[in-house]
């Protein structure tokens, strides 16, 4: 399984912040936004990743994330010449995907709580898996409709009259057929290759699974200034309350076995003294305690 993080787009809803930096490089509380989807993917066991962004922003991501080796993963980069829809990611990263299955995650979506994604990735055996999340304003999103047996019957992009209150969050799992399907997608009225059209084709083929995200799961779309502030406040509140960090790739790498405890501690030593490195030292101490070493 490989993974794509789509971190392109114009970021116009976050103007003027995005005049100087990509939307997905903005701070969500104490970490760059891109850390959150990256951590979810690593926590799901995916170690082969591709980040897609604009030519202006790619050097910034490369400076921040490098090749991923410090976390025991591989990160490669692809340029998005122009923002032409989510499904464009499969055309841009086709050589990276090769013959594998792939997870696509939007770089401005923040998820917290539960193990829904790791379980979905580990149990994936073909077709497509998308997710459904109950929202109060479904007309802003792709909306999935279910029959009385809980099976998905339709998906509509930003409908004026939604047929349900279940929105489709920005994470999608596909088998390798997605490359052929994405190449056949035609631009919509707004000139974009819509991910909904990809999902509809899998639905037509009878190969689409829709998993409803569990209660207590949080999905935050940090695409506007207000949403960015709310996401930061949420992360701050949860981290203070629970004493654990959300969106920490170093911790995900340790838990998933991408890094040994020795490599993890060596990574901490390279960091400046700050709240973030203090937290990682607590994680290391807890690791040793659970192993009976202290």
154: which strand partners? 145
pLDDT digits (tens, 9 = 90+) for 252-277: 999 999 999 999 999 999 999 999 99
Calculate mean pLDDT across residues 183-189.
Answer: 93
Model pLDDT, residue 196 = 92
Integer Cα distance of 284 and 294 in angstroms: 11
Model pLDDT, residue 293 = 66
Calculate mean pLDDT across residues 233-250.
Answer: 95
Has residue 294 got a pLDDT over 80?
Answer: no
Distance of CA 152 to the CA centre of its chain: 22
Q: Which of 12-16, 55-59, 200-204, 244-248 has the lowest average pLDDT?
A: 12-16
Integer Cα distance of 274 and 56 in angstroms: 29
> pLDDT grade, residue 242 (50/70/90)?
very high
Has residue 198 got a pLDDT over 90?
Answer: yes
Model pLDDT, residue 243 = 93
Has residue 4 got a pLDDT over 80?
Answer: yes
Report the predicted TM-score, pTM, of the whole model to 2 decimal places.
0.94
Yes or no: say if 10 and 84 are a contact pair by the CB < 8 Å rule.
no
pLDDT digits (tens, 9 = 90+) for 37-77: 999 999 999 999 999 999 999 999 999 999 999 999 999 99
* List of E strands, 54-170: 74-79, 102-106, 109-112, 128-134, 142-146, 152-157, 166-167
Bigger pLDDT: 97 or 22?
A: 97
> pLDDT grade, residue 223 (50/70/90)?
confident
> pLDDT grade, residue 183 (50/70/90)?
very high
> pLDDT grade, residue 34 (50/70/90)?
very high
What domains does the chain contain, in order, with CATH numbers? 2-243 (3.90.550.10)
Tokens at residue 37, please? 């989807």
Yes or no: say if 210 and 131 are a contact pair by the CB < 8 Å rule.
yes
């Amino acid at each position: 399984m490989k993974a794509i993080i789509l971190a392109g787009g114009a970021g116009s809803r976050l103007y003027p912040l995005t005049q100087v930096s990509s939307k997905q490089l903005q701070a969500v509380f104490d970490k760059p936004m891109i850390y959150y989807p990256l951590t979810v993917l690593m926590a799901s066991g995916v170690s082969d990743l591709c980040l897609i962004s604009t030519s202006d922003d790619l050097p910034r991501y490369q400076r921040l994330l490098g090749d991923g080796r410090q976390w025991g993963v591989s990160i490669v980069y692809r340029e998005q010449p122009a923002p032409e829809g989510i499904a464009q990611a499969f055309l841009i990263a086709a050589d990276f995907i090769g013959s594998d299955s792939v997870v696509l995650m939007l770089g401005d979506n923040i998820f917290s709580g539960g193990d829904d994604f790791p379980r979905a990735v580990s149990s994936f055996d073909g077709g497509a898996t998308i997710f459904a999340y109950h929202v109060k304003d479904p007309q802003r999103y792709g909306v999935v409709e279910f029959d009385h047996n809980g099976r998905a019957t339709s998906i509509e992009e930003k409908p004026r009259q939604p047929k349900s209150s279940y929105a489709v969050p920005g994470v999608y799992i596909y088998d390798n057929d997605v490359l052929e399907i994405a190449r056949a997608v035609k631009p919509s009225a707004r000139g974009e290759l819509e991910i909904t059209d990809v999902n509809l084709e899998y639905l037509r083929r009878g190969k689409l699974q829709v998993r409803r995200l569990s209660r207590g799961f949080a999905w935050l779309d940090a695409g506007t200034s207000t949403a960015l502030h709310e996401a930061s406040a949420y992360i701050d509140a949860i981290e203070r309350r629970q004493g654990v960090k959300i969106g920490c790739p170093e911790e995900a790498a340790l838990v998933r076995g991408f890094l040994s405890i020795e490599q993890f501690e060596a990574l901490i030593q390279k960091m400046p003294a700050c709240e973030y490195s203090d937290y990682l030292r607590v994680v290391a101490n807890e690791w040793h305690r659970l192993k009976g070493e202290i």
